[in-house]
Chains A and B, each alone.
Chain A
């Protein structure tokens, strides 16, 4: 028997094989595409074709299609690509240093704050970049900081990010005895949907756009967590921080803030 005799309906194996396969397919398709959509009255379809398209996986407009509800807050518009902040030039860092003189009053001349503002020396460039963009757009607001950011150009922001990332990380001014890691930092609280702080902010891992927190002011960290929880700070992407902060107890907020404040920044695990 040659191939021609094999692939013919005179060959019982061929006809049964193809017949059964086609039959099962047809039966499954009719059930899945026509019968089952009809048997589910809670699914509203305009007609048979509509039900068919839905079963095939064609995206449909939702029934209540209309204006997407506008967020009451401005959302962060920062976009980072691998090239945005890659390989800053010496000129960029130098311009950043000049621009940074006006930041020194709060953030310190070496990027170490004495005023419970964040320490910026050695912070990730992506973090400085995103926060400045958010202050400028109004996604994040602060009575002191917003006016400073309002007139910065894109290049200014890149230069400042490059400069602060370039500065060495120095021990902060509030050195205490290093506290042991609290549960919320290394375990989070899985049953309440809280990821460990350390899974984005260092200690365990760093995620792009998340600052390292070691040695930051305890008062500042606490204030930010409370602002996230109260919905006053809203520039976190997809509400990641708000969701976490809302679920935290005030005791956990205290512990996390105190822990990070007590850590020297030179232990930060970096991947850069």
Chain B
């Protein structure tokens, strides 16, 4: 039962509209720093655009998708009305206000600090306060997810929590804890300087705080995608989920090991000891585990669907899959991109291999492939799957949806593969201008141009996606039926308490944060000689 459709639609529409705007900025950036254009002659415009693109794509868009999807899951998986609808709207409006408050100084060129803040660079205080409001808005969602689960539990004592809701709440807890790092950085360090209360900042400590958020945030973005793998895909293609327990274990593993690994983002930073870097590197390797479990379970589930449709042979069943179904297409593309992106990630997390690609375009290519590719294509799938239930109207044209997914997949490959390659060649990231006439980097010009064409394909695909969603509202009304999630092969009758609750796993998540982050943070916080003067953006 989806009662609060307006609330869910508001989240999805706002998410996708800001996504469309940020996508335009991204495509523009790819174009102006490529050899196809003579250059804008002013790096400030580039960084302004980059800040807006990153802030929207990193903080606003995925958060809204996770929230909207979370509300949809609460009502449809728990079969109960959402408790705290007013609070949910309050959270939504906080995000709207926060996003506007953050984007105004960025648009004025007063906060071109990039979405990762990069202290000691300091921009206008409203930018940071806006980001904090977005996070606070999302914390309301976290609380609501927890409260709704509790309400359901009271009414259904001892029953297994539906998988979609279990995963959804795991994602919300992960977000609640991982956002604390950036919140500490903003509230204790950056905002006091931005408000003029202090003029120095401990940039090293700030970077450690940010790494607390920066890696696990990726898993927060990823959770809706994984929920879609487990609870939408098998149902949408007419199959069954291979194992409910495996799914629960994957989400639990994400909750526990996504958090204590962020220092692999600071491998080149001198303020963190090599021992802690090694510990974080080791734990990062563990994160591959839930992904491998997922790939296995979903492949098995998909095979079940194919064999139910008459597929035969060791690999012949692949042909029997419903390739006309956009969800099938999306999950296949997502897996291909996840495979390549994950393989690249293994290089980033290795202390030694990372040095070859550190701060190069490889990194930007990597996170666009994983987030923009593997994750966002499943956001599209979620929207396509939910839309008829939210609007009460069928999607206008499935062929158009398939075209859109194909374009996104091709566009992402064409954009990110050359991007990785120029990174290996040594092209640095975060630069507004490259002198391609210089013989030393002239060979990179071809690949950067290719990449820019990929961005154009992505832009077309993104706009097509918005068009399809908008057109759906004008279709004749139909009854989409009840929104359901996939059934496991073996019906879930009872689940061990440990796999039906979060106590142990949240405790482990916090415990590992303390062991892996405690000393580096305390050491930097206790030292008096680690602050540097702030560099104010736009100050004379």
A residues apposed to B, CB below 8 Å: 1, 3, 5-7, 11, 13-14, 17-18, 21, 24-25, 27-29, 31-33, 36-37, 52, 54-58, 81-82, 124, 126, 181, 186-187, 189-191, 196, 199, 204-208, 270-272
Contact of A17 with B275 at beta-carbon distance under 8 Å, contacts A81-B199, A186-B41, A191-B441 already known: no
Q: Does B283 contact A (CB under 8 A)?
A: yes
B200 to chain A, nearest CB (A): 11
Q: Across the interface, do A36 and B274 meet the contact criterion of CB distance under 8 Å? A: yes
Q: Does B496 contact A (CB under 8 A)?
A: yes
**A82 — which chain B residues lie within 8 A by C-beta?**
196, 199
Whole-angstrom CA separation of A187 from B38 in the bound complex: 11
Whole-angstrom CA separation of A57 from B517 in the bound complex: 12
B205 to chain A, nearest CB (A): 12
Q: Across the interface, do B278 and A17 meet the contact criterion of CB distance under 8 Å? A: no
* Least CB separation from B534: chain A residue: A82
Q: Does B286 contact A (CB under 8 A)?
A: yes
**A208 — which chain B residues lie within 8 A by C-beta?**
539-540
B244 to chain A, nearest CB (A): 16
Q: Return 14 A-B CB contacts under 8 Å, by A number.
A: A6-B504, A7-B504, A13-B499, A25-B516, A27-B282, A32-B278, A32-B279, A37-B274, A54-B273, A56-B276, A57-B272, A186-B41, A204-B43, A207-B540
**B496 — which chain A residues lie within 8 A by C-beta?**
13
Q: Across the interface, do A29 and B279 meet the contact criterion of CB distance under 8 Å? A: yes
Contact of A6 with B286 at beta-carbon distance under 8 Å, contacts A29-B275, A32-B276 already known: no
* Least CB separation from B539: chain A residue: A208
Q: Does B508 contact A (CB under 8 A)?
A: yes
**B503 — which chain A residues lie within 8 A by C-beta?**
3, 6-7
Complex partner residue of B282 from A3, A6, A24, A206, CB under 8 angstroms? A24
* Least CB separation from B158: chain A residue: A1
Give the total number of A-B pairs whose CB atoms are below 8 A apart: 120
B residues apposed to A, CB below 8 Å: 39, 41-44, 196, 199, 256, 271-279, 281-283, 286, 431, 433-435, 438, 440-441, 496-499, 501, 503-505, 507-508, 511-512, 515-516, 519-520, 523, 538-540
Contact of A56 with B196 at beta-carbon distance under 8 Å, contacts A21-B512, A187-B433, A271-B538 already known: no
Whole-angstrom CA separation of A271 from B44 in the bound complex: 14
**B199 — which chain A residues lie within 8 A by C-beta?**
81-82
Contact of A21 with B438 at beta-carbon distance under 8 Å, contacts A56-B519, A57-B276, A206-B540 already known: no
**B504 — which chain A residues lie within 8 A by C-beta?**
6-7, 11, 13-14, 17-18
Q: Across the interface, do A31 and B278 meet the contact criterion of CB distance under 8 Å? A: yes
**A14 — which chain B residues lie within 8 A by C-beta?**
498, 504
Whole-angstrom CA separation of A207 from B496 in the bound complex: 62
B519 to chain A, nearest CB (A): 6
**B507 — which chain A residues lie within 8 A by C-beta?**
7
* Least CB separation from A81: chain B residue: B199
**A270 — which chain B residues lie within 8 A by C-beta?**
540
Whole-angstrom CA separation of A27 from B503 in the bound complex: 25
Q: Across the interface, do A17 and B508 meet the contact criterion of CB distance under 8 Å? A: yes
Whole-angstrom CA separation of A14 from B504 in the bound complex: 7
* Least CB separation from A191: chain B residue: B438
- The 9 A-B pairs of least Cβ separation, nearest first, read A57-B273, A55-B275, A32-B278, A13-B498, A28-B282, A32-B275, A33-B275, A28-B279, A1-B497
Whole-angstrom CA separation of A81 from B273 in the bound complex: 33
**A199 — which chain B residues lie within 8 A by C-beta?**
43
**A21 — which chain B residues lie within 8 A by C-beta?**
256, 508, 511-512
Q: Across the interface, do B435 and A189 meet the contact criterion of CB distance under 8 Å? A: yes
**B42 — which chain A residues lie within 8 A by C-beta?**
204
Complex partner residue of B44 from A27, A29, A205, A272, CB under 8 angstroms? A205
Contact of A17 with B499 at beta-carbon distance under 8 Å, contacts A25-B512, A25-B515 already known: no
**B435 — which chain A residues lie within 8 A by C-beta?**
187, 189-191
B199 to chain A, nearest CB (A): 7
**A54 — which chain B residues lie within 8 A by C-beta?**
273-274
Whole-angstrom CA separation of A116 from B224 in the bound complex: 67
Whole-angstrom CA separation of A32 from B277 in the bound complex: 8
* Least CB separation from A127: chain B residue: B540
Complex partner residue of A57 from B275, B282, B283, B441, CB under 8 angstroms? B275
A9 to chain B, nearest CB (A): 12
Q: Across the interface, do B271 and A57 meet the contact criterion of CB distance under 8 Å? A: yes
A55 to chain B, nearest CB (A): 3
**A57 — which chain B residues lie within 8 A by C-beta?**
271-276, 519-520, 523
Besides A32-B275, A191-B435, 19 other CB < 8 A contacts? A6-B501, A7-B503, A14-B498, A17-B256, A17-B498, A18-B504, A24-B282, A24-B283, A25-B279, A52-B275, A55-B275, A55-B278, A57-B271, A57-B274, A57-B520, A58-B523, A82-B199, A196-B43, A204-B43
Q: Across the interface, do A204 and B44 meet the contact criterion of CB distance under 8 Å? A: yes
Complex partner residue of A28 from B283, B441, B505, CB under 8 angstroms? B283
**B523 — which chain A residues lie within 8 A by C-beta?**
56-58
Whole-angstrom CA separation of A82 from B536 in the bound complex: 11
**A58 — which chain B residues lie within 8 A by C-beta?**
273, 523
A227 to chain B, nearest CB (A): 25
Q: Across the interface, do B515 and A187 meet the contact criterion of CB distance under 8 Å? A: no
* Least CB separation from B511: chain A residue: A21
